[in-house]
C-alpha cells in the first residue's frame, strides 16, 4: 500500500526560518513614504515593535526561531504531509499529489505560525495589547489564540461581510479573550469616514487595516502595537516553516524535488510559506513550476499593476512595491474572504517580476467545485481560500495526465472550512454565483492609485 501520511519527529522540526530576501537575484525595492523617501526603521516604531521591524528589514538567510515560540508550535507541529490518493484515483491522474495540512492548528489554519511569533516578539518589547484586522476570521482567531498564550490583550476589526457570513469566528476569538468588531466600525476615524462615504460597503481588508493601525497608534499608553497577518516580509518568514518541513517529509517519501508547488494567495503568506524554500532551489537551478493562486474577484497578480501602493484604504501604511489593484479597491463579497486583499506581498511580487512564479486566478464557482470533489474523495472540508489552490492542483494534475507525465504536485492546505459552511450550503443549493471584476473596474481602480511613485520592474532575465 502507498504511504499516505508522512510525519516528522518533533526533534526534526526546523529551528530556523528561511528568508528569501537573502537569495532574490534582484534585490527588493525598499518601502517608501508618500513623499518618496526610503522608509527608515524608526518610522515604524509606533506601529510595530523594534525586534519585528529588524526582522522586516533583515536580509539574513536563516533566522533562529525562539525556543518559547517553538514550544507553542510543538502543540500541533510538525504538521502532517499527506498524499491525496483518493483524489488521484478520482482524477485517474498520472500525477502524485501531496499536501501539507495546516488545518491542524488550534485556530484551524497556517495563520498561527506567524501569530505565535508576533505575539512573542511584542511581549519581549513590553507591549500589552495588539490590534489587527481579519478577513475570513482565520487571522483574528490565530492572533487571539497567540495573545492568550503570551498574556496580551487583543482587538480585532473583522471585515463586515465575513463578520456576517462567519459569526462562529467571533465566538472563537472571544473564547481566547479577544474583542472583535465588524469593520468599518464607528470606533475609529478611518471607519467612520468609510461609513459616511459607503454606508452599505461589504468592508475590505484595506479598510480594516486602517482601523487597526489607527487604534494602535492612537493609544496614549504606548503599549499597543499592530499585528498584520500577511503581506510583510516578517510574516512570510514565519510561514516558511511549512515548506521547510515539507522538504524533509518529501525526502522521507523518496522525492528529491516536487515538479509543481501550489498555494492560494491573499496577501501571500501561506503561499510563501510552502513555496519560498522551493524558490531557493529554483534560484539554485531546480526545475519547479511554482504557482500562487488568487481569486478572479481580486486578481492583483494576473490583472493588477506592479507599482508602489498603500497597504490600506486610508493611506496609513508606507508605500510598498507590489502587485496591486489599488488600495481603494473593494472586491466583490466572495466567500474566500482571505483572498479579498488588493495587494500582494512585496517578496512574492518581486519573485513574480523575476519570473520565478507563475500566478493563476480561479473563479469561486470552480473553487467550490474543487472543494466538493475534495470533500467527496479525501473527506475533509477545506477553507474557501484553500479551494482556490485545489482548483489549480486539479487543473495541473489533469494537464500532467494529458501530457503522460508522472509529476509530483505539492500544495498547501491552508485551513479547514468547518466554520465556512454557509458558502458550501449556497453552492449545494445552486445559489453561488461566479464572481469576476471587469477590465473597466480594474482600470478605474488602478487610475486611483495615489502618488506617482513607479516601482521599476527589475529582473535578471534568467527565468
Ligand atoms: C485558510 C486561509 N488560507 C489562505 C488565506 C490567505 O492569506 P495568505 O495569502 O496570507 O495566506 C487566508 C486568509 O485569511 C486563510 O484564512
Reported as a single tens digit per residue, the pLDDT across 151-183 is 999 999 999 998 998 899 999 999 999 999 999
Is residue 450 over pLDDT 90? Answer: no
* Per-residue buried b or exposed e for 418-450, using 16+ beta carbons within 10 Å of the residue's own CB: ebbeebbeebeeeebeebbbeeeebeebbeebe
As a whole number, mean pLDDT of residues 41-50 equals 96
Ligand 1 test: best mutation among 110, 143, 169, 227, most atoms within 8 Å of CB?
110
Percentage of the residues of the chain whose pLDDT score is greater than 70: 99
Q: Please tell me the predicted confidence (pLDDT) of residue 230.
A: 95
Closest by Cα among 383, 171, 189 to 156: 171
Contacts of 331 (CB under 8 A, 6+ apart): 204, 295, 297, 298, 325, 340, 342, 437
Is residue 303 over pLDDT 90? Answer: yes
Nearest-CA residue for ligand 1 atom 14 is 338
Ligand 1 test: best mutation among 79, 100, 111, 208, most atoms within 8 Å of CB?
111
Is residue 108 over pLDDT 90? Answer: yes
1 pLDDT tier (thresholds 50, 70, 90):
low
Q: What's the CATH fold of domain 5-12+64-108+233-447?
A: Rossmann fold (3.40.50)
Task: Compute, in angstroms, the gap from residue 412 CA to the centroid of ligand 1.
Answer: 11
Percentage of the residues of the chain whose pLDDT score is greater than 90: 92
3 pLDDT tier (thresholds 50, 70, 90):
confident
As a whole number, mean pLDDT of residues 323-329 equals 94
Give pTM, 2 decimals: 0.97
Is residue 337 over pLDDT 90? Answer: no
Task: Compute, in angstroms, the gap from residue 385 CA to the centroid of ligand 1.
Answer: 6
Task: Compute, in angstroms, the gap from residue 37 CA to the centroid of ligand 1.
Answer: 31
C-alpha cell at 295: 481569486
Q: Please tell me the predicted confidence (pLDDT) of residue 263.
A: 98
Task: Compute, in angstroms, the gap from residue 225 CA to the centroid of ligand 1.
Answer: 22
Handedness of CA 446, 447, 448, 449 (dihedral sign): positive
314 pLDDT tier (thresholds 50, 70, 90):
confident
Ligand 1 pocket (Cβ < 6 Å) reads: 109, 135-136, 138-139, 230, 264-271, 338-339, 383, 385-386, 414-415
Task: Compute, in angstroms, the gap from residue 63 CA to the centroid of ligand 1.
Answer: 23
Nearest-CA residue for ligand 1 atom 13 is 338
Out of 132-136, 378-382, 450-454, pick the least confident. Answer: 450-454
Closest by Cα among 29, 20, 34 to 452: 34
As a whole number, mean pLDDT of residues 203-221 equals 94
Q: Please tell me the predicted confidence (pLDDT) of residue 336.
A: 86
Out of 159-163, 389-393, 409-413, 452-456, pick the least confident. Answer: 452-456
3-state helix/strand/coil string of the chain: CCCCEECCCHHHCCCEEECHHHCCCCCCCCCECCCCCECCHHHHCCCCCHHHHHHHHCCCCEEECCHHHHHHHCCCCCCCEEECHHHHHHHCCCCEEEEEEHHHCCCCECCHHHHHHHHHHHHHCCCCEEEEEECCCHHHHHHHHHHHHHCCEEEEEEEHHHHHHCHHHHHHHHHCCCEEEEECCCCCHHHHHHHHHCCCCCCCHHHHHHHHHHHHHCCCCCCEEECCCCCCHHHHHHHCHHHHHHHHHHHHCCCCCCCEEEEECCCCHHHHHHHHHHHHHHHCCCCCEEEEEEECCCCHHHHCEEEEEECCCCCCCCEEEEEECCCCCCCCCCCCHHHCCCECCHHHHHHHHHCCCCCEEECHHHHHHHHHHHHHHCCCCECHHHHHHHHHHHHHHHHHHHHCCCCEEEEEECEECCCCHHHHHHHHCCCCCCCCCCHHHHHHHHHCCCCCCCCCCCCCCCC
Nearest-CA residue for ligand 1 atom 10 is 269
Q: Looking at ligand 1, which atom is closest to the CA of residue 383?
A: 1
451 pLDDT tier (thresholds 50, 70, 90):
low
Nearest-CA residue for ligand 1 atom 4 is 385
- Beta-carbon count within 10 A of 62 CB: 13
Is residue 14 over pLDDT 70? Answer: yes
Is residue 452 over pLDDT 80? Answer: no
Task: Compute, in angstroms, the gap from residue 404 CA to the centroid of ligand 1.
Answer: 33
Is residue 344 over pLDDT 90? Answer: yes
Q: Looking at ligand 1, which atom is closest to the CA of residue 268?
A: 9
Mean pLDDT of the chain: 96
Q: Looking at ligand 1, which atom is closest to the CA of residue 138?
A: 16
Task: Compute, in angstroms, the gap from residue 460 CA to the centroid of ligand 1.
Answer: 30
Nearest-CA residue for ligand 1 atom 16 is 138
Q: Looking at ligand 1, which atom is closest to the CA of residue 229?
A: 10
Task: Compute, in angstroms, the gap from residue 339 CA to the centroid of ligand 1.
Answer: 7
382 pLDDT tier (thresholds 50, 70, 90):
very high
Q: Looking at ligand 1, which atom is closest to the CA of residue 270?
A: 11
Q: What does the pLDDT look like over 245-286, one tens digit per residue?
A: 999 999 999 999 999 999 999 999 999 999 999 999 999 999
Q: Please tell me the predicted confidence (pLDDT) of residue 334.
A: 82
Q: Please tell me the predicted confidence (pLDDT) of residue 313.
A: 84
Nearest-CA residue for ligand 1 atom 6 is 266
Amino acid at each position: 500500500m502507498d504511504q499516505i501520511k508522512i510525519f516528522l519527529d518533533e526533534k526534526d522540526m526546523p529551528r530556523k526560518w528561511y528568508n528569501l530576501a537573502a537569495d532574490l537575484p534582484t534585490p527588493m525595492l525598499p518601502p517608501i513614504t508618500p513623499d518618496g523617501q526610503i522608509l527608515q526603521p524608526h518610522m515604524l516604531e509606533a506601529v510595530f515593535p523594534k525586534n519585528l521591524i529588524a526582522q522586516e528589514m533583515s536580509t539574513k538567510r536563516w533566522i533562529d526561531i525562539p525556543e518559547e515560540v517553538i514550544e507553542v508550535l510543538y502543540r500541533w507541529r510538525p504538521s502532517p504531509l499527506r498524499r491525496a490518493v483518493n483524489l488521484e484515483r478520482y482524477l485517474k491522474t498520472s500525477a502524485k499529489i501531496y499536501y501539507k495540512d495546516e488545518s491542524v492548528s488550534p485556530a484551524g489554519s497556517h495563520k498561527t505560525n506567524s501569530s505565535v511569533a508576533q505575539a512573542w516578539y511584542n511581549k519581549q518589547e513590553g507591549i500589552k495589547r495588539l490590534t489587527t484586522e481579519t478577513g475570513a476570521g482565520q487571522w483574528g482567531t490565530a492572533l487571539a489564540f497567540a495573545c492568550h498564550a503570551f498574556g496580551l490583550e487583543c482587538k480585532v476589526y473583522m471585515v463586515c461581510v465575513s463578520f456576517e457570513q462567519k459569526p462562529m469566528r467571533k465566538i472563537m476569538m472571544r473564547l481566547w479573550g479577544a474583542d472583535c468588531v465588524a469593520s468599518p466600525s464607528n470606533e475609529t476615524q478611518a471607519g467612520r469616514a468609510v461609513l459616511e462615504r459607503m454606508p452599505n460597503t461589504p468592508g475590505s481588508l484595506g479598510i480594516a487595516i486602517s482601523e487597526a493601525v489607527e487604534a494602535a497608534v492612537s493609544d496614549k499608553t504606548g503599549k499597543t502595537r499592530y499585528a498584520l497577518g500577511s503581506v510583510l516580509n516578517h510574516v512570510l518568514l514565519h510561514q516558511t516553516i511549512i515548506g521547510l518541513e515539507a522538504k524533509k517529509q518529501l525526502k522521507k517519501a523518496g522525492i528529491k524535488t516536487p515538479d509543481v508547488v501550489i498555494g492560494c494567495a491573499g496577501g501571500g503568506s501561506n503561499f510563501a510559506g510552502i513555496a519560498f524554500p522551493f524558490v531557493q532551489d529554483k534560484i539554485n537551478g531546480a526545475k519547479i513550476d511554482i504557482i500562487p493562486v488568487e481569486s478572479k474577484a481580486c486578481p492583483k497578480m494576473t490583472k493588477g499593476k506592479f507599482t508602489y501602493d498603500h497597504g490600506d484604504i486610508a493611506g496609513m501604511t508606507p508605500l510598498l512595491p507590489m502587485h496591486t489593484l489599488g488600495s481603494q479597491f473593494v472586491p466583490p463579497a466572495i466567500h474566500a474572504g482571505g483572498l479579498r486583499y488588493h495587494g500582494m506581498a512585496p517578496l512574492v511580487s518581486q519573485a513574480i517580476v523575476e519570473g520565478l512564479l507563475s500566478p493563476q486566478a480561479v473563479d469561486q464557482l470552480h473553487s467550490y467545485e474543487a472543494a466538493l470533489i475534495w470533500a467527496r474523495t479525501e473527506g475533509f472540508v477545506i477553507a474557501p481560500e484553500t479551494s482556490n489552490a485545489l482548483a489549480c492542483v486539479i487543473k495541473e494534475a489533469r494537464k500532467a495526465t494529458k501530457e503522460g507525465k508522472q509529476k509530483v504536485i505539492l500544495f498547501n492546505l491552508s485551513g479547514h472550512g468547518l466554520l465556512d459552511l454557509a458558502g458550501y450550503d449556497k453552492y449545494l443549493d445552486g445559489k453561488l454565483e461566479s464572481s469576476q471584476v471587469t477590465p473597466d473596474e480594474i482600470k478605474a481602480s488602478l487610475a486611483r492609485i495615489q502618488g506617482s511613485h513607479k516601482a521599476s520592474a527589475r529582473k535578471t532575465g534568467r527565468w
